[in-house]
Structure 1
Amino acid sequence: MLHLRILLPTKLTEGVVQILEEDPCVSGLAMVRAAAIRPAGDLVLADAPREAMNDIVARLRDMGVHREGTIEIQRVDTWLSSDGFNAEMKAPGSSADAVVWAEVAQRSYEESELNWTYLSFMALATTIAAIAIVLDSQVLVIGAMVLGPEFGAIAALGVALVRRRYSLLGHALRTLSLGFLAAIAATTIAALLGRVLGWITLADVVGPHPATDFIYHPDKWSFIVAVIAGAAGVLSMTSTKAGGLAGVFISVTTVPAAGNIALGIAFGAGHVVWPSTLQLLLNVLGMALAGWLTLALQQFVWSRVSVRRARAMSRPKRIL
């Protein structure tokens, strides 16, 4: 169940309330006159299942509510309501499968924003990955994978293409490229410092690493795993099942490859840099492609559900 909180000018209130009243999937509806100060107007509150939210938001956007007021969508974790249960039964599809596109787009913009926090996490994760390679430690590699924040920007590429938000596409590409460049630069400086202090030697970089050599040995499996992980990550992001993201973070070799690139640059080992660069590109490409295809499939499926929604609601399921 999702909760709608709408602040809007009084001139739009009647139309909005009518839209919500006519929708049998809206289980709760309230309106408070003159409750809003900015914009000056009214407050409308409503509850509806996730499966119905896209159609409701689309109709509100057609009225221009998002331009003259505010539409907020909030998740309701626990609710007790017979009307709410009936609304869930009337709405076609499953709430776990439903994609609320406004929510996905908002999250994509937030997680692909280039800021100091994003750059810091990228630099820290890549530095840990470099240390993991020097020590040949799989535990540290996994830690670096989990710490890296790059998946949000990669998923945003698919959202931008499917929803035709090309400003988001440029936003995500910029964040992704500058994030990896900054992280590699910071880790290269750290590696050079370790080289000067004698903490890291050339043998540590080019010597045998039986536990971590997959980082700089790209192959078909690198791409296949990235595709599977990208699809799983997007499904976790668009549904209520968010637990799958942890598995994505420890499946792809983006941040570890960036750490190995930095080590190769610091020690002038080109034969380390190029395979690691290919590994990085394969993983990013695989996840981006899988994310786009997964989102495109979800949009196709839910567009068909939306077309049949009116007929499905005219034949409500019998509640026993």
Structure 2
Amino acid sequence: MIVQLRIFVPEELSAVVLRACKDQVGTAETAFFPGASVAPQGDVIEVQAARESVEELLEKLHVLKVEEVGSIIIAMPELVLSRRAEKAESSAPGDGADALIWDEVSHQTGEDSRLTWSYLAFLVLATQLAAIGIVTDSTIAIVGAMAVGPEFGPLAALAVALARRQWALGRRAAVALAVGFPVAMLLAALTAWLSVPLGLFPTDALDTGSAVEFIYHPGPYSLIVAVLAGAAGMLSVISRRSAALIGVFISVTTVPAAGFVAVALVLGEYQKAAASGFQLLLNLVGIVVAAVAVLLFYRVVSKRLPEATARQLRWQLRRTRG
């Protein structure tokens, strides 16, 4: 798997950055365009490298503070036909599917963790679907609610924030969860409250729904499933396998638990509401803990930039700046 980097740098930094790119193990091709950048004024360097070597190259560029004086654009070409690219992939240690690019994961989870109108809309719609599935004893509606729910984005972002100590990202994710779920549950409760006098469902709906009993019966397997789903979800984010996320969405009882709490409170089933609330909390915590564990494991096993190399790059940076 080849990754393409386009780097904009001031002219005085070009030589150091170009050398770092050319010396990086796993680099297939490097192109240099002097004076191609107008704003900021400087040069453009394009690099094609094996995915498993990109993280180390990015660490070098961060040491050189390229993102402060210029910019780095990362793209994933769909198809690269090159014998040099094949040799670069074989020379780079590890496998591209297992390679973790921290900046990519932080960016992706950061985008999915914002409290936006679309995020709220999806969470509200998912909770409404869950509530309908609960009062009609419809497993299909509940599974549909699981698939629609957008809550894994903020949970993954919270895990990244804890693993990398990016507290701004963590606060944003926490706000999305702390605001999104109460709003969705409140609207679901309002819908249920309006539906009762209209006779849309009986007041004993929670007593006859055998298909939804798992929602308010949290147990050891609730936590186990949440942990497994959290690990699988973070692995799918790291490896860019979005199809696996669908399985994660329909494995955990987050949105259904939120919908059950709303309906149970309206019907006066406070004990079941409390149990379902605990189910929700158990799933949220299990997902985040497992995702953090996966990220910490990758941090331990990943090859880090040698301190000697970092010191040499800092010396070259100071020398370049005079």
Same fold (TM over 0.5): yes
Give the match's secondary structure for 1:251.
coil
Task: Name the aligned partner's letter for residue 63 of structure 1.
Answer: L
Give the match's secondary structure for 2:204.
helix
- Note the C-alpha offset of 1:16: 1.1
268-277 or 137-146: which moved more?
268-277
Q: Which residue does the alignment assign to 2:282? A: 282
Q: Which residue does the alignment assign to 1:314? A: none
Deviation readout 1:114-151 (Å, 9 max, x if unpaired): 11110110000000000000111111111000100001
Task: Name the aligned partner's letter for residue 62 of structure 1.
Answer: V
The answer on 1:188 being equivalent to 2:182 is: no
Normalised by the length of structure 2, the TM-score is 0.91
Task: Name the aligned partner's letter for residue 291 of structure 2.
Answer: G
- Note the C-alpha offset of 1:298: 1.1
- Note the C-alpha offset of 1:243: 2.4
Deviation readout 1:264-295 (Å, 9 max, x if unpaired): 22223212210110000011111111111111
Give the match's secondary structure for 1:197.
coil
- Note the C-alpha offset of 1:9: 2.2
**Partners of 1:23 and 1:271 in 2: CA distance:** 60
RMSD: 1.5
**Partners of 1:243 and 1:134 in 2: CA distance:** 30
Q: Is the 8 A contact 2:25 2:53 kept in 1?
A: no
Q: Which residue does the alignment assign to 1:111? A: 112
54-63 or 192-201: which moved more?
192-201
Deviation readout 1:167-202 (Å, 9 max, x if unpaired): 212221111121111111121121122123221331
Give the match's secondary structure for 1:27.
strand
Task: Name the aligned partner's letter for residue 56 of structure 1.
Answer: L
Task: Name the aligned partner's letter for residue 195 of structure 2.
Answer: G
- Note the C-alpha offset of 1:163: 1.2
- Note the C-alpha offset of 1:158: 1.6
Q: Is the 8 A contact 1:96 1:241 kept in 2?
A: no
Task: Name the aligned partner's letter for residue 240 of structure 1.
Answer: R
Q: Which residue does the alignment assign to 1:6? A: 7
**Partners of 1:303 and 1:274 in 2: CA distance:** 46
Give the match's secondary structure for 1:211.
helix
Q: Which residue does the alignment assign to 1:199? A: 200
Q: Which residue does the alignment assign to 1:241? A: 241
**Partners of 2:94 and 2:303 in 1: CA distance:** 12
122-131 or 240-249: which moved more?
240-249
Q: Which residue does the alignment assign to 1:318? A: none
Q: Which residue does the alignment assign to 1:17? A: 18
Deviation readout 1:47-96 (Å, 9 max, x if unpaired): 11111011100111111111111111111221111111111011100111
Task: Name the aligned partner's letter for residue 286 of structure 1.
Answer: G
The answer on 1:140 being equivalent to 2:141 is: yes
Deviation readout 1:1-25 (Å, 9 max, x if unpaired): 1000112222222221111122242
**Partners of 2:222 and 2:34 in 1: CA distance:** 58
Could you say if the C-alpha distance between residues 264 and 78 of structure 1 is closer, same or farther in structure 2, counting changes exceeding 3 Å? same
Give the match's secondary structure for 1:303.
coil
**Partners of 1:91 and 1:189 in 2: CA distance:** 57
Q: Is the 8 A contact 1:231 1:287 kept in 2?
A: yes
Query: What count of residue pairs does the alignment treat as equivalent?
Result: 306
Percent same amino acid at aligned positions? Answer: 40
Task: Name the aligned partner's letter for residue 49 of structure 2.
Answer: A
The answer on 1:163 being equivalent to 2:189 is: no
21-30 or 100-109: which moved more?
21-30
Q: Which residue does the alignment assign to 1:73? A: 74
30-39 or 87-96: which moved more?
30-39
Task: Name the aligned partner's letter for residue 102 of structure 1.
Answer: D
Equivalent residues in 2 for 1:251-290 (5 A)?
A: 251-290=251-290
Normalised by the length of structure 1, the TM-score is 0.92
Q: Which residue does the alignment assign to 2:179? A: 178
Equivalent residues in 2 for 1:19-58 (5 A)?
A: 19-58=20-59
